[in-house]
Amino acid sequence: MKKSRKPTGKAIIKRLVLRTSAKSGGSKSGGKSGGSKSGTKVLTTGVLNTAVGQTAAHIEVANFSSTTAALVTVQVFDWNSGSPVILLNQTVTIGPLTHRIFSQDVTPFHYEVRIIHPSNANVIANTFAINAGTSTVPGLTFNQDQLMSIKSGK
């Protein structure tokens, strides 16, 4: 008779991730997968109020793949009316090992930044509040791991 072995920590974690993924319909990452079934990831800052001295939202998106370009959409919305109004909606192809910079005036109102990219892409996005001199304004910096994943609004 075969002895059954107890699963290791890695095996237990893998099962939990796969089980969670299957229930949520998400990716195998088990983390902030979000996005639509077509394999896109939609990241958002959520609705923010401009900081004192802030004139623009500054977004930097980098593609860390050494071989594959990534199609990325950067959006900025004005939420002052209670409903989103698109201020910036730019789709670009970011080549391997390159990055792109986007800036959008956001004074004085509530705004949101969204970054949409393929869920399997090695893309990192960060957003900052900047002043008229393009210096970073403390308080509204969001690094990739602080952005929230949402389902596409389509």
pLDDT tens-digit series, residues 3-12:
545 444 444 3
Question: Would you say residue 16 has pLDDT above 70?
Answer: no
Does 54 share its domain with 111?
yes
Query: Does residue 25 share a domain with residue 36?
Result: no
User: Which residues touch 108 (CB under 8 Å, ≥6 apart)?
Assistant: 50
pTM over 0.85, yes/no: no
Pair 17, 54 in one domain: no
10 and 55, same domain (yes or no): no
Residues 110 and 39 in one domain: yes
- Encoding tokens for residue 7? 């699963």
Which range among 17-21, 106-110, 132-136, 145-149 shows the weakest confidence by mean pLDDT?
17-21
Place of tokens 């389509």: 154
**99-126: average pLDDT:** 96
- Ranked by mean pLDDT, which of 18-32, 121-135, 139-153 comes out on top? 121-135
Same-domain status, 75 and 144:
yes
User: What CA–CA distances, in Å, run from 84 to 1, 57, 140, 152, 153?
Assistant: 65, 16, 19, 14, 11
Domain region containing 43? 32-150
Q: Average of pLDDT values for 99-128?
A: 96
pLDDT tens readout for residues 39-51: 999 999 999 999 9
Q: Are residues 26 and 55 in the same domain?
A: no
**Has residue 68 got a pLDDT over 50?**
yes
Asked if 73 and 146 sit in the same domain, the reply is yes
CATH code: domain of residue 114: 2.60.290
**Measuring CA to CA, which residue among 70, 78, 13, 84 is closest to residue 41?**
70
**Same domain flag for 118 and 102:** yes
Residue of 18, 67, 61 lying closest to 41 (CA atoms): 61
Is residue 20 over pLDDT 70? no
